[in-house]
């Protein structure tokens, strides 16, 4: 649990001031709070992102293209 939170903090927490949408962060928080039950989901979620970032994975078709 703590490890997941730490990874998330390291990966994503910058001082971004963004337009607030209704729940993206809140949806991700549900994975963090899921604890042990959510470890598999968290790994899949961020493994996929890592592969996309390294250019070795296909972007999910369900993700919107950047404008």
By CB under 8 A, residue 18 contacts other proteins: yes
Regarding 51 and contact with other proteins (CB under 8 A), the answer is: no
| Cα gap 35→6, rounded to integer Å | 13
Residue 59 CB, nearest distance to other proteins (Å)?
10
* Cα angle for residues 28, 31, 36 (degrees, 5° grid): 160
Is 22 a binding residue for other proteins by CB under 8 A? The answer is yes
Instruction: Please tell me whether residue 40 binds other proteins under the rule CB under 8 A.
Output: yes
Interacting residue with other proteins among 6, 7, 23, 55 (CB under 8 A): 23
């Amino acid at each position: 649990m703590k490890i997941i939170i730490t990874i998330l903090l390291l990966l994503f927490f910058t001082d971004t001031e963004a337009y607030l949408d209704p729940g993206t962060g809140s949806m991700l928080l549900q994975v963090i709070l899921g604890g042990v039950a959510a470890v598999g989901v968290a790994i899949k979620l961020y493994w996929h992102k890592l592969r996309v970032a390294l250019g070795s994975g296909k972007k999910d078709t369900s993700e919107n293209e950047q404008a």
